[in-house]
Structures are given as structure tokens and as C-alpha cells.
Amino acid sequence: MILDRLDRASRYAGLHPGFDKALAFLRRADLRELPLGKYPIDAERVYATIARSKARRREDACLEAHRKYIDIQLVLEGVDEMGWKGLGECRQLLKAYDAELDCELFSDPPAAWIAVARDSFTVFFPEDAHAPVVGTGELLKVVVKIAV
């Protein structure tokens, strides 16, 4: 897992071939003005979703994990208090892996909570279970999916 600010994102470009394309999208000058929805960047290998969501309480959140994609989650409005736990430490399976949705859910409590503020982002790799969209009020976020 990585937590950083968008203005320092260039240091992560070499982590994966899809990061350059993902970061170029996240640096768009018009990013906050784009309509909500899905944006193909490199077909299904790299794509972004812009969403506005009502934040959940910590006790209502569950951990999710993905096998096919790395998540880059950029907060545009609000503070997302994301939970995190290493996937290898998750023991309480809530919903088995769904290959079509690329998601499995766990009811384990997170090992840590991370306050991700405006213009900050997280990178969750397949070994990172995470519980996003936690806090108060509404959140506006961009999630970029990068195929592993």
C-alpha cells in the first residue's frame, strides 16, 4: 500500500507499465469537471471511474481485495478514512471471490485506518485488503484500475 499526494506521484511511475497512463489521467487539468462515470485509458488494462458517494461509518465498512487490478484511489473532495489489512492476515471471508467483479470481501477489522485527504491518493495492490469510502459527508473520488 502507498499513501502520498498527487504532486509527488511521479516517483511511482516505474512501478508498473500502466502507472504512467494512470498518473497522466489523474493529472488532467479538467479532472474535477469531468462527469461521473467510467473512462477508458488503455482499454480494460487501465481505466478510471469517477464517483460521488456518501461515506460510511467504520463499523459498516468491510475489507475488499482484488486479484486482477491494482487500485489507485485519488480523493477529490472530502476525507476518505480508508481501512487496510494485509490480505494474508484476513481470516473472516464475507463473500467469496467473484471473478467478474474482481472482488472478495472480508469482515475482519482493518489493521490500520488511514485518513486520505483531498489531492492525496492510495495505491492498493492485490495483497492489500482495503475498506474505502469511510468518513462523514460525501466523497468525490477517482479510482484507476491497472491490470496486474
pLDDT tens profile 11-44: 998 899 899 999 999 999 999 999 999 999 999 9
Q: What mean pLDDT is predicted for residues 44-63?
A: 97
Q: What is the pLDDT of residues 116-125, one digit of tens each?
A: 999 999 999 9
Enclosing domain of residue 74: 2-29+37-147
- The chain-wide mean pLDDT, for the chain, equals 97
The confidence score (pLDDT) of residue 45 equals 97
Whether 27 contacts 142, CB under 8 Å: no
Q: Are the C-beta atoms of residues 63 and 83 closer than 8 Å to each other?
A: yes
Report which of 129, 128, 138 is spatially closest to residue 51, judged by C-alpha positions.
138
Is 7:119 a contact under the CB 8 Å cutoff?
yes
Tell me if 127 sits within 8 A of 136, measured CB to CB: no
Using CA atoms, how far residue 67 sits from 16, 98, 147, 148, in Å, is 15, 10, 9, 8
What are the Cα distances from residue 44, in Å, to 18, 40, 105, 111? 11, 7, 22, 31
The domain total for the chain is 1
Q: In this structure, what CATH number is given to the domain that contains residue 47?
A: 2.60.120.370
Contact between residue 87 and residue 110 where contact means Cβ atoms under 8 Å apart: no
